[in-house]
């Protein structure tokens, strides 16, 4: 277990940082700073998978999941003030969506990585992260914001009703609910980070394997 502690610590730090940075909007509200830190979770999962295998990678993922649940519980108890009313820092729908999307996407990443691990070095991390990112984005934004999801209470829907505003997609296209633009922008960042992360993946895997010999 000691060999996994650095990976667990980094994964937990990414989850905590993303939960904090998601509060800070950029690009007219299309993105948050958390969108740039969250995809690094895939990098951590892939490095652990390559070096130690899928079982150990799943342990790191579950540690990140537990950290995320704790962050959501804390955030749901913090009340913010805006436009004359109070609202939780973490809406209940967003908390549920975050946990489901993280766990499903990371476990899928591990599965896809294993299917590709014997190919060229870049295929497994890139392919698994692309698939995981698509699943993560689809699950999170659908569960968190889509009006077609009717399992939540009216109070939970009220917390995220701002995401139903009809706006030009990505501020330039046809009109859709705001959350669709948020999802597209988020996915573009995830794919961009996946490509950039190939460099640290290659370097860190080599370094860890060299130090373990």
Q: What is the pLDDT of residues 162-187, one digit of tens each?
A: 999 999 998 887 899 999 999 999 99
Which of 58-62, 155-159, 189-193 bottoms out in mean pLDDT, i.e. has the lowest? 155-159
User: For the whole model, what pTM was predicted?
Assistant: 0.93
Radius of gyration of the CA atoms of the chain, in A: 18
Find out whether 67 and 16 touch, Cβ atoms under 8 Å.
yes
Q: Cα–Cα distance between 74 and 96 in angstroms, integer?
A: 14
Q: What is the pLDDT of residues 108-152, one digit of tens each?
A: 999 999 999 998 999 999 999 999 999 999 999 999 999 999 999
């Amino acid at each position: 277990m000691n060999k996994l502690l650095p990976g667990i610590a980094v994964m937990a730090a990414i989850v905590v940082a993303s939960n904090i940075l998601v509060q800070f909007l950029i690009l007219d509200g299309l993105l948050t700073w958390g969108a740039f830190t969250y995809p690094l979770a895939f990098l951590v999962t892939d490095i652990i998978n390559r070096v130690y295998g899928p079982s150990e990678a799943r342990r790191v993922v579950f540690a990140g999941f537990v950290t995320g649940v704790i962050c959501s519980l804390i955030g749901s108890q913090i009340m913010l003030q805006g436009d004359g009313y109070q609202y939780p820092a973490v809406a209940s729908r967003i908390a549920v969506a975050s946990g489901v999307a993280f766990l499903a996407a990371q476990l899928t990443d591990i599965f896809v990585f294993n299917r590709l691990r014997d190919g060229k070095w870049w295929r497994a991390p890139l392919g698994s992260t692309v698939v995981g990112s698509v699943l993560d984005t689809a699950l999170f934004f659908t569960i968190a914001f889509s009006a077609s999801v009717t399992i939540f209470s009216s109070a939970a829907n009220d917390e995220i009703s701002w995401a139903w505003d009809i706006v030009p997609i990505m501020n330039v296209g046809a009109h859709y609910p705001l959350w669709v633009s948020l999802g597209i922008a988020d996915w573009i960042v995830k794919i961009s980070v996946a490509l950039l992360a190939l460099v640290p993946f290659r370097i860190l895997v080599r370094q860890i394997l060299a130090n373990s010999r």
